[in-house]
A and B are shown apart, each in its own frame.
Chain A
Amino acid sequence: MVMLQHTVRKPKGHVFITDPDGGVAEGDTLQCVHCQMHWVVRPGSGTKRGWCYRCNGPTCGKPQCMGRCVPFEKAMELAERRAKLLSDIERI
């Protein structure tokens, strides 16, 4: 079905592209479970994505997201902990 080419069962986002003539193209996006990147689903695009069996979700295809599993929530916590440690060290 042509109208369902850019849809997915569990979209994480949606894009609307309005051209100068007023036409609107729409598409669902998927989100990488490791870096939060969004991409529009284009069947047959040839872009290699992945799937993380630990997070049970799609990955964007960047080497660092394909190589090891670091869920984005964990990455946020690590960044926040690192910043706190640095500020503690500066205070000493």
Chain B
Amino acid sequence: MADRYAITGQQNAAAPADTCTAVEAVNLTRGELYDLVFGSSDGPADVALRWEVMRFTAAGTRTAVVPAPLDPAAPAAQLGGGENHTAEPTYTAATELLDFGLHQRATYRWIASPGGEFTIPAVAANGIGARVSPNMGNPLVDCTMHYEE
């Protein structure tokens, strides 16, 4: 049975786009994202956010996040996570897996049906990131990713 993990991330988003949370392969193990939650913990404001979930081939500069196992008995995660990127990952063009606009005051949750997960190939530094572009200001945004490996 696959083990499930959670990665959370925050970012003070700025135009044109900043990556909030990412999960990447490090030890040649595949991962499958199945639950994503997007929102903002900043003070309520009228800001339009565009979220894009995309594939990347190099991780960029970020604060490392250790994936938290959903089952406390699960072993340490093989994949890695990152948040609050200061240098963007190298995204592959036209690989949007989710692409939507969201008001800062709203929350968006996506759940995969069985078989509808986003697969991360077992290639070091390859992964999936959630990047956001606000229409103004620097709202603090949050993204939680649940995956199994």
Contacts and interface: CB of A to CB of B under 8 A. Distances in A.
Partners in one complex: yes
Interface of A: 11-20, 29, 31, 35-38, 40, 62-64, 72, 76, 79-80, 83
Given A20-B106, A83-B121, 16 more contacts: A12-B113, A12-B116, A13-B111, A13-B113, A16-B109, A18-B109, A20-B103, A35-B97, A37-B98, A38-B97, A62-B94, A63-B94, A64-B94, A76-B30, A79-B123, A83-B126
Give the interface size bracket for B toward A: 20 to 34
A23 to B, nearest CB: 10
Say what secondary structure dominates the interface of chain B. Answer: loop
A13 B119 contact: no
A37 B113 contact: no
Nearest to B105: A20
B149 interface: no
B113 A14 contact: yes
A20 B44 contact: yes
A14 B115 CA distance: 13
